[in-house]
Amino acid sequence: MKLRIKESLNSLTPKITSNLLNERPPFPKKAKIEITTRCDLKCYYCKLTRNNPQKEMSEFLVKKILQDLKNNGVEQVGLFWLGEPLFNKKLSEYIKFSKKIGIKYVFITTNGRMAVPERIKDIIDSGIDSIKFSINSSTREEYYNTTKVDAFDQVIENLKSLKKIRGSSKKPRIVASSIFLPSNVEEFYKINSMIQPYVDKHYPLHIYGDKNIIKHKNITKKDNDHKIIKNSKKKLTCIAIYVTMLVSICGTSYKLRWKNRIVFL
C-alpha cells in the first residue's frame, strides 16, 4: 500500500515538459469550469468557507465557454471547481451539451452529500465519463470536525448506491480522492480500506506549495481543530498552472501569483 501511495503521488506530479516552459505554451487539453460557487460543507481548508459569493454561472456563459474550449482543442472538461456541482440544476444539461459538441471526456468532483440515487441516475444518463467523490475522513466524528456537517453516513451510502446503479458497466468511471498528509498516513489507509470495494480508483492528493495542515492543540471545541502552517520543506510546485485551464464563475481564467509573477490559469 505504501508503495502504491508513493507511485500515485509521483504520477500526479510529473515533470513539467520543456514545451510548456516558454512564453506561449500550447493551449491546454484539459479545463475546469466553475459552474457554481455554492457548497453545503464548511471545510476548514477551503476558501469558500471564509468567502463564498454564492453564485452560479449563467447557462449562456457555460455553453459559450464549452464551445470555445472545444474550438481550441480541449478534450477533457470538468464541470466544477471549488463549489459543489450538484447544486447547479442544469448540470445534466451541460453534460449532454458537452458530449453533443464533441468533448471527449466530461467529469465532476463532488463531496457526495447530494449524490442521491435519483440525481446520479440522471447524471449517468446524460453521458458523464467520470464521477469523483472527495472523501477526506474515515469516521463520522472526523468528518464533522472537518466539514461541520453531519453527513458522513449519507456520503458513504451514496457512493455505494453509485456503484450499484452503474452495475456491470465500466462507465462512468468511479473515482475517489483523499488529502494525503505525511503526518497522518494511517487516515488515508483507513479511508482506502473502507471505500475500495466501491471505486475504480482511490488516490491521494498532496498539498501543493509551502503550506501544511496540522492538528491544533490549543483551540476551543467550537472551532475547527486544525490550522494551516508554513512547511519548512521544499515547495511542491502545482502543475495545474501548466496543464489545466480553470475558468472562474464570471468566465475569466483564474490567476495565481507564482514566483513573484502573475500566472493566468
Query: Residue 72 to residues 26, 28, 90, 222: CA-CA distances in angstroms?
Result: 10, 9, 24, 49
pLDDT of residue 235: 54
Question: 0.85 cut: is pTM over it?
Answer: no
pLDDT of residue 1: 56
| Nine cell digits for residue 148 | 461541520
pLDDT of residue 15: 60
Query: Residue 157 to residues 95, 167, 242: CA-CA distances in angstroms?
Result: 24, 16, 36
pLDDT tens digit sequence for 135-175: 999 999 999 999 999 999 999 999 999 999 999 999 999 99
| Nine cell digits for residue 118 | 435519483
The two beta strands, 130-134 and 105-110, are parallel
DSSP result, 117-179? HHHHHHHHHTT-SEEEEE---SSHHHHHHHHSS--HHHHHHHHHHHHHHHTT---SEEEEEEE
* DSSP code at position 1: -
Give residue limits of the domains in the chain.
2-13+30-247+254-264
| Nine cell digits for residue 128 | 458523464
- In the chain, which stretches have pLDDT less than 50? 210, 218-224, 226, 228-229, 232, 255-265
C-alpha atoms less than 13 angstroms from C-alpha of 163 in its C-beta half-sphere? 16
69 membership: H or E segment, kind and range: helix 59-71
C-alpha atoms less than 13 angstroms from C-alpha of 87 in its C-beta half-sphere? 18
Class of domain 2-13+30-247+254-264 (CATH, top level): alpha beta
Nearest Cα to 44, choosing from 233, 236, 179, 235?
179
Question: H helices then E strands: how many in the chain?
Answer: 9, 11
